[in-house]
Structure 1
Amino acid sequence: MIDLLLIHGTVITMDPDRRIVSDGAIAINEGRIVDVGITAKLTSKYEAKKVIDCSHQCILPGLIDVHGHGGHSMFKTIAMENIDFWMPIMTNTYKHFVTDDFWYYEGKLSSLERLKAGVTTGVSVLGSMPRSDDPIFAINHAKAYAEVGVREVVCTGPCNPPWPHSFSRWVDGKRVVKEVTYEEVLKGAEAVIEALNHANEDRTRAFITPFVIVTSVDPSNPTAPDRLYGLSDHDLYQAKRIREIARKYDTRIHSDAFGGMIHLAIQDRENALLGPDVHLQHCRGISFDEARILAETGTNVSASPGFGQVNARTPITELLEMGATVAISTDGTSPSTSFDMFQAMRKTQFVHQAALRDYYYLPPGKLLEMITIDAAKCIGWDDEIGSLEIGKKADVITVNLHQPHLTPEFMHVHRLVFQAVANDVEHVIVDGKLIMESREVQTVHESTILNEANEEASSTIERAGLEKYMKPTKYFWGHARAYVDERRYDERENDPEMRKGE
């Protein structure tokens, strides 16, 4: 007798043949898929401890969000009125005003949102820039994901120079500031990898994650060619140390990159943070030459849709045509994005069709590949997840089509890509375990998580003085354009060196 049998659904396998099975079924036992086929055949072949009737539902692989941020779920929309200062505001908050417990409560909220959106595997970079001065943050975050039941790739590593860097811990309600060296944050990242990589029966993995692959240029935007002066000593040292850590623990490298960085990185042939074991997020504004380097080195790429794509596009279509593996990510959930992968698909298609002035780019099937099997390839997990195939891990979701916006029930991939939203996900199975049934979470008490998150977020906002960034301006209502008309962010006020005595 097998553990679980899903019957009478439309199975979108994402297997190499991209089979779609009408009146299909999935047989699951001991955490793995043991059969995929027509319902009549599987029901005659297997008896199951539990049978779920998936009539009027699509059955597909769990969605994979290859880049998001741990911490952000507590700060949704904060500082959107001051978007130019959003990164330093959030970075200062993560470095100096969050408690150890914050990461646990945020992890619960983050994993719960992903679960209810059908995301069975989520990548979490800890903070706006990764924070690794102590492993407790990542350990608490991973603990939360494990309790909810969602797979997590925890990403942590060094942020950018200068070093040493000031970080704070909160002990008995008091802030303790410490100067931390670059070597200390590398040791912290190693401790995270030792503790978490392949933990929780391999539902948790840990990647080494420098903030960007080249630290001597603009870390959040493309750099003009006449400002690419070559790799700094720190760039070279960081690449060498990151490579050493990846080899030591047999783990992968995850980082951000923008235009100009790839041109510089490839100059360090021995330790360049490029290649099949590397996954780079964003890659906005890269040149054609840089796109070719990514494709030729087998570097994995992901991009999220957003306004930044208007000013400096990720050349997704060009990378795909060169043979690169490219995934869609949410980069969620702050300041204004959710973990809804269905929305991310549609936004990605719109951005690139508009940029290229061509309606025919990024067809629905390719978009669905980019959040399932291609996403699994990006994070080096396609041998186990990303498609519904015999022998693979049973990470499965169903989407309820028996709703006005998803009826009539034909052209199923089109229906998912163009009309579905996160709330249409009905059942979620991870590692063969049913963790959401008929939208009811089975592993944790949802209301408790939401109440705890509200309480922790409120105390963090007060501690960090973020209330001023939550107030609308006088242009909020009735105006076509917003202005702030006040100085909310002061660099001296938010400089940790200025605030050590707090």
Structure 2
Amino acid sequence: MKLLIKNCTVLTMAKKGEMLENAYVAIEDGNIVQVGQGESDTGWVADRVIDGAGVVCMPGLVNTHTHAAMSLLRSYADDLPLMEWLQEKIWPLEAKLTTDHVYNGTKLAALEMIKSGTTCFADQYFFMSDVGKAVEEAGMRAVLARGMIGLNQNADLALAESEEFITEWNGAAKGRITAVMGPHAPYTCPPPYMEKVLKLAEKLNVGIHIHLAETKSEVNQIRDEYQKTPIELVSDQGVLDFPTIAAHCVHLTDSDIDILKAKNVGVAHNPESNMKLASGIAPINKLLQAGINVGIGTDGAASNNNLDMIEEMRSAALLQKVATEDPTVMDAYQVLQMATVGGAKVLNLDDKIGTVEVGKRADLILIDLNKPHLQPKHKVYANIVYAAIASDVDTVIVDGEVVMESREVKTLDEAEVIEGANSAVKELVD
């Protein structure tokens, strides 16, 4: 199909501050084939035209770390520290989850993400084939990992399920799904188990999605057991020799930062979850100054409590400013980069998405600027980071397919998804 978006403002994210007024984006077979100002080439005729008057067209937002099905646990266990939250509330309830619960929870998360402008997300959970089915139906792009904990009786089963999932789903949904390995963290995956994980990752030629240095208690535990920081431990184990998505990275030494840079690790920053669980403030400004790829994630809705990347961008910017007592840190454009092309780099997808450029896949969102809180338009990208809200996202396109238009999601029945999620929760909690 040939799709043309015309009369819009294009925020390309390809060059700092590049914004094209009265512009167009031409899409064919899911690829961006033309970007320019004025009229598209006269020899190219679209099958469908979207009039973008009054809207900004930009890359879709990339959520670099979440646990989608945990949308079912939203507001279930609030106001607790991480380990108590996990061990006494979350893990016991997760032990009761079924494939149906995870499928319905993931569809609820996908609906929420689409309606707030996220086109791609990285997920680590279990029953991942059901997550894959939900992603495929929603029309989203995703990097999926079967979460693995090496300390329980299901440790070897998790390895077997990971291999089965990756074999079946890597490259599925017309290439929109990437499958990777998901060891939970160094404190739940001891060295003998991590060795098995890495052997399987090498066999399947895939990357790693892991939680690292999220809390002081984790860092202290790893130091007590191994006389190393979590970053030093996984680096020495060879984890970081694989393409790695490192979630959180809150408590880092200068040496840790040097390792992350040397190993080209992508960091998924989750400011709101880290604030809510009082895990600490990640040194994002130092990571960016070191040249490390940093994206933004929401973490799961059980510790956030939403999957709104626009809100997460604003939190990321304000948190770094107050932590450093420097208002120039993390300017609006840099934060928008982190949520788009930066996120794509963290997920190793920047050859496909993250910018509005010829040759990229058409993962795009249209934001309606005709709102009082988005006027006047001194700096459009600053308005998006500091003033926009999720409902300003009018249209979402993934892989050249329109998945939401005029706030109506085309791929999912909203009422049906909500009913399915509530039924799943009632069954789970009862």
TM-score normalised according to structure 1 size: 0.79
Shift of 1:317: 0.6
Please list every run of 5 or more consecutive structure 2 residues that lacks an aligned counterpart in the other structure: 223-227
Instruction: Look up the SS of the partner of 1:380 in the other structure.
Output: coil
Deviations 1:219-266 (A, max 9, x none): 6xxxxxxxxxxxxxx733233222222222221100000164673553
Instruction: Look up the SS of the partner of 1:301 in the other structure.
Output: strand
Deviations 1:193-234 (A, max 9, x none): 11111111111111101111x22xxx6xxxxxxxxxxxxxx7
**Residue in structure 2 matched with residue 253 of structure 1 by the alignment:** 208
Instruction: Point out the more displaced range, 268-277 or 442-451.
Output: 268-277
Shift of 1:100: 1.7
- Code of the residue aligned with 1:116 in structure 2: it is K
**Residue in structure 2 matched with residue 328 of structure 1 by the alignment:** 296
Asked if 1:142 is matched to 2:115, the reply is no
Asked if 1:292 is matched to 2:258, the reply is yes
Asked if 1:183 is matched to 2:182, the reply is no
Asked if 1:266 is matched to 2:245, the reply is no
| Equivalent pair of 1:152/1:204 in contact (CA under 8 Å) | yes
- Code of the residue aligned with 1:189 in structure 2: it is S
**Residue in structure 1 matched with residue 148 of structure 2 by the alignment:** 158
CA distance in 1, matches of 2:92, 2:279: 26
CA distance in 2, matches of 1:444, 1:158: 30
CA distance in 2, matches of 1:353, 1:441: 36
Among candidates 425, 432, 445, match of residue 400 of structure 2: 432
| Equivalent pair of 2:250/2:281 in contact (CA under 8 Å) | yes
CA distance in 2, matches of 1:189, 1:149: 23
**Residue in structure 1 matched with residue 194 of structure 2 by the alignment:** 239
TM-score normalised according to structure 2 size: 0.91
Written as runs of structure 1 = structure 2, the 5 A alignment for 1:403-414 is: 403-414=371-382
CA distance in 1, matches of 2:429, 2:234: 42
| Equivalent pair of 1:275/1:300 in contact (CA under 8 Å) | no
Among candidates 60, 65, 68, match of residue 67 of structure 1: 65
CA distance in 2, matches of 1:276, 1:252: 5
Instruction: Look up the SS of the partner of 1:427 in the other structure.
Output: strand
Written as runs of structure 1 = structure 2, the 5 A alignment for 1:1-150 is: 3-16=2-15, 19-40=18-39, 42=40, 44-80=42-78, 85-88=84-87, 89-95=89-95, 97-126=96-125, 131=126, 137-150=127-140
May I ask how many residue pairs the two structures share in their alignment? Answer: 415
Shift in alpha-carbon separation, 1:269–1:81, aligned structure 2, 3 A? closer
Shift in alpha-carbon separation, 1:340–1:242, aligned structure 2, 3 A? same
Asked if 1:207 is matched to 2:180, the reply is yes
Written as runs of structure 1 = structure 2, the 5 A alignment for 1:414-429 is: 414-429=382-397
CA distance in 2, matches of 1:18, 1:240: 45
Shift of 1:79: 1.7
CA distance in 1, matches of 2:197, 2:13: 34
CA distance in 2, matches of 1:264, 1:148: 36
Instruction: Point out the more displaced range, 253-262 or 347-356.
Output: 253-262
Asked if 1:303 is matched to 2:276, the reply is no
Please list every run of 5 or more consecutive structure 1 residues that lacks an aligned counterpart in the other structure: 132-136, 166-179, 220-233, 463-502
Deviations 1:321-364 (A, max 9, x none): 11111111111311332111111111111111111111110001
Shift in alpha-carbon separation, 1:385–1:268, aligned structure 2, 3 A? closer
| Equivalent pair of 2:63/2:339 in contact (CA under 8 Å) | yes
Instruction: Point out the more displaced range, 112-121 or 184-193.
Output: 184-193
CA distance in 2, matches of 1:343, 1:34: 31
Deviations 1:403-434 (A, max 9, x none): 11112234110111111111110001111001
Instruction: Look up the SS of the partner of 1:58 in the other structure.
Output: strand
Shift of 1:62: 0.8
| Equivalent pair of 1:57/1:400 in contact (CA under 8 Å) | yes
Among candidates 335, 338, 352, match of residue 384 of structure 1: 352
Instruction: Look up the SS of the partner of 2:91 in the other structure.
Output: helix
CA distance in 1, matches of 2:250, 2:412: 38
- Code of the residue aligned with 1:449 in structure 2: it is V
Instruction: Look up the SS of the partner of 1:417 in the other structure.
Output: helix
Which structure is richer in relative contact order (CA contacts within 8 A, separation 6 or more)? 2
| Equivalent pair of 2:273/2:303 in contact (CA under 8 Å) | no
Shift of 1:46: 2.7
Instruction: Look up the SS of the partner of 1:157 in the other structure.
Output: strand
- Code of the residue aligned with 2:23 in structure 1: it is G
| Equivalent pair of 2:235/2:259 in contact (CA under 8 Å) | no
CA distance in 2, matches of 1:279, 1:375: 10
Shift in alpha-carbon separation, 1:399–1:421, aligned structure 2, 3 A? same
State which structure, 1 or 2, has the greater radius of gyration over its C-alpha atoms.
1
- Code of the residue aligned with 1:184 in structure 2: it is L
Instruction: Look up the SS of the partner of 1:266 in the other structure.
Output: helix
- Code of the residue aligned with 1:236 in structure 2: it is P
Shift in alpha-carbon separation, 1:267–1:407, aligned structure 2, 3 A? closer
Identity of aligned residues (%): 28
Shift of 1:448: 1.1
Deviations 1:59-96 (A, max 9, x none): 0011100101032111111121555632121111112x
Instruction: Point out the more displaced range, 56-65 or 446-455.
Output: 446-455
CA distance in 1, matches of 2:59, 2:117: 9
| Equivalent pair of 1:65/1:330 in contact (CA under 8 Å) | yes
CA distance in 2, matches of 1:332, 1:311: 15
CA distance in 1, matches of 2:199, 2:334: 35
